[in-house]
Structure 1
Amino acid sequence: MNTESIAFSSPRESLGVLLGLVRAEIVRAMEAEIATKGLELKFTQFLILKRLARLGPMSATELARSVELDGGAMTRQLDQLERRGYLRRRPHQQDRRALRIELTDAGDALWRQLNGCNEHVLAAAQASLDADERDRLHDYLERVLFALRNKD
Structure 2
Amino acid sequence: MAEPLVPDAAARHTGCLLMKLGQVMFRLSEDRLTGLGLRTRHYLILQALAEAGARSQLELGNQLRIDPTTMVSSIDHLERLGLATRTRDPQDRRRFLIAITDEGRSAATESDRLLASLNEETLADLDSAMRDDLHRLLLALNAGDTLPRAYDATRDVQR
TM-score, length basis structure 1: 0.79
Q: How does 1:67-146 map to 2 (within 5 A)?
A: 67-145=64-142, 146=144
C-alpha separation in 1, matches of 2:61 and 2:106: 22
Q: Compared with structure 1, are the counterparts of its residues 96 and 43 closer, same or farther at alpha carbon in structure 2 (3 Å cutoff)?
A: same
- 2:146 maps to a residue whose letter is L
After superposition, what is the alpha-carbon deviation per residue over 1:24-81, rounded to whole angstroms, capped at 9, x for unaligned?
A: 121111122223xx33322222221222122221111121122211111111111122
Relative contact order higher in (CA < 8 Å, ≥ 6 apart): 1
RMSD over aligned CA atoms reads: 2.5
Tell whether the 8 Å contact from 2:123 to 2:131 is kept in structure 1 after alignment: yes
Report SS of the residue matched to 1:128.
coil
Indicate the structure with greater strand content.
Answer: 2
Q: Which residue of structure 2 aligns with residue 26 of structure 1?
A: 25
Q: Compared with structure 1, are the counterparts of its residues 68 and 147 closer, same or farther at alpha carbon in structure 2 (3 Å cutoff)?
A: closer
The answer to whether the aligner puts 1:49 opposite 2:46 as a matched pair is yes
Runs of 4+ displaced beyond 4 Å: none
Residues paired across the two proteins, number: 146
The percent of aligned pairs where both chains have the same amino acid is 29
Deviation of 1:90 (Å): 2.3
Deviation of 1:117 (Å): 0.8
C-alpha separation in 2, matches of 1:111 and 1:27: 17
Show structure 2 runs of 5+ residues with no match. 150-159
Tell whether the 8 Å contact from 1:7 to 1:13 is kept in structure 2 after alignment: no
